[in-house]
A and B are shown apart, each in its own frame.
Chain A
Amino acid sequence: MDARRAAELAARNSYGRLVAYLVAQTRDLAAAEDALGEAFLAALNTWPDQGVPRSPEAWLLVTARRKLIDTARRSQTQERVLTTLKTTDLGWSSPPADESALGGDSVPDDRLKLLFICAHPAIDGAMHTPLMLQTVLGLNAAQIGSAFLVAPATMGQRLVRAKAKIRDAGIAFELPEAEELPVRLQAVLEAIYAVYTLGWDNGAGGDPRHQGLTDEAIWLARLCVQLMPEEPEAKGLLALMLFCEARAQARRTVAGAYVPLSEQDTALWSQALLREAERLLGQAAVVQHLGRFQLEAAIQSAHMQRADGRATDWEAIALLYAGLLRIAPTLGARVSQASAIAEAHGPAASLQALEKIPAAAVNTYQPYWALKAHLLQTLNQPAAAKDAYQRAIGLSEDAAIRAFLLARSRQLPGPPPPN
């Protein structure tokens, strides 16, 4: 295997694991990442000449640890870190000759602690997901900034501040206590789901820099399921994302036009992903502890019954949304519930549900206006429908969805637009 490829593979598979291991000793996320970054650079410089070590992970860890000691020596203030590093028995002393004695699996996996630190309540909620993307997956500030519509330099500063907070506030590198776990776990899962929705919204026809994000989110969720096999919500989240992922090929026509869920060709849905999602959801249900992500996954599962030739049970979907709203009353869930009510009880009932949402909350919320436009069109109120379509079109970020709504709006009777 060539050296660059080996370094990339090690980066993909071990980045978070190595960061977690180093942070466990130093309590300094930024320093751990810097040291690991230098170790990767050293790998790229030396592996082509000296060959790829038998355990790249151990080599990187030993090299990063040495860099950390060098840095700590230079800055007198890091006395404590230096002491910790010197006294920690890593099981090997002089790299890289004996690093092969240490199998890749011997590096303890502390990534779960890392995930919990990133989503710690003392850290600004808006930074949970960016921190995760950087420390567990190794994405850089420019990649993360693009996903969040933030300038790279700004995202870099925010990440630095968040890491300084973790270090200076002395946030423990430990798993939460049992009584804290449900709330803390929810924050971790929500941060992972945010990665997925960022990638999903920009998946087709959008910014190609985001397209890998859905994969990264699924990877993180798999990690959670693997590290916390007894947690039904972790399985619920993975199931939810796999249900969505199963439809990825059906979301756009070959020409890139938007296809709404109800018009998607079920032959394009991935049967393998569907089956895996159903299996996970079934396993989660056995625990009998319902949560937000299991409910959302159950809603997706109900939407996808069509794949077996069964009619969509809209009544059931509306009920699932009612349950979801009790646990997680988000704007998205309210609008989606109204959409299910339209199918189960007709457009007038749906419009009533929509109009209960405070106007200030939906001022810039595109899905609300898209649904409202569709309902008014069905209720034969072309002027009001036209207005709602205008709002929805003006708030659309995705060019394919904008084109879809423009086409719908043009079907309305009434005077043609002035141009």
Chain B
Amino acid sequence: MQYAILVYETEYDIANREQHMPAYMAYSQALGEAGVMVGGAALHPSHTATTLRLQNDQRQVQDGPYADTKEQLGGFFLIDVPDLDTALNWAARCPAASNCAVEVRPLLPNPA
């Protein structure tokens, strides 16, 4: 079963990202060596985001993220593990779990 580990970061952590890089590199390496890593990415900070929607056939484009919160979605890992318990165990090892928070969500199976 596949799960997304959504990594939330505080403003401070986003501003000091390079400080956390070694820990994240080790974390993704551990996921890889355990054979559970499916994918993932780190995102640029939310001020680089552009949000758009179509309202009454009008395009509306705005600067910034859809949800403007203090804590930001900083990236995600996709993992393939037997169950939620195992996914939560991996989520607890993510550096963000002790700095801010991580959210674990099951992925819908591929329709194919």
Chain A contact residues, CB within 8 Å of chain B:
149-151, 154, 205-206, 363-364, 389-399, 402, 406, 409, 417, 419
**With A150-B85, A406-B22 as contacts: A390 and B97 at CB distance below 8 Å:** no
Instruction: Flag if B98 contacts A391 (CB, 8 Å).
Output: no
CB proximity of B7 to chain A, nearest CB, Å = 14
> When each residue 1-45 of chain B gets 1 if its CB lies under 8 Å from chain A and 0 otherwise, what string results?
000000000000000001001110111111101100000000000
- Residues in A with CB closer than 8 Å to B27 are 393-394
Chain A residues whose C-beta falls within 8 Å of the C-beta of B33 in the assembled complex: 363, 391, 394
Q: Is A393 in contact with B92, judged by CB distance below 8 angstroms?
A: no
For residue B84, CB closer than 8 A to chain A, the reply is yes
Besides A394-B93, A395-B30, A402-B23, 19 other A-B contacts (C-beta < 8 A)? A150-B88, A154-B84, A205-B98, A389-B26, A390-B26, A393-B23, A393-B26, A393-B27, A394-B26, A394-B29, A394-B31, A394-B33, A395-B93, A396-B93, A397-B93, A402-B98, A406-B23, A406-B26, A419-B22
Distance in angstroms between the alpha carbons of A154 and B22 in the assembled complex: 34
User: CB of B95 within 8 A of chain A?
Assistant: yes
Interface size on B, residues (CB 8 A): 23
The contact sample of 11 A-B pairs, CB cut-off 8 A, is A151-B84, A154-B84, A390-B29, A393-B26, A393-B27, A394-B28, A394-B30, A395-B93, A398-B98, A399-B95, A399-B98
**B8 shortest CB reach to chain A, Å:** 15
Min CB distance B106 to A, Å, is 12
Contact B22 A391 (CB under 8 A): no
* In the complex, chain A residues whose CB is within 8 Å of the CB of B110: none
In Å, the complex CA distance between A402 and B93 comes to: 10
- Within B51-105, which residues are at the interface with A (CB < 8 Å)? 84-85, 88-89, 92-93, 95, 97-99
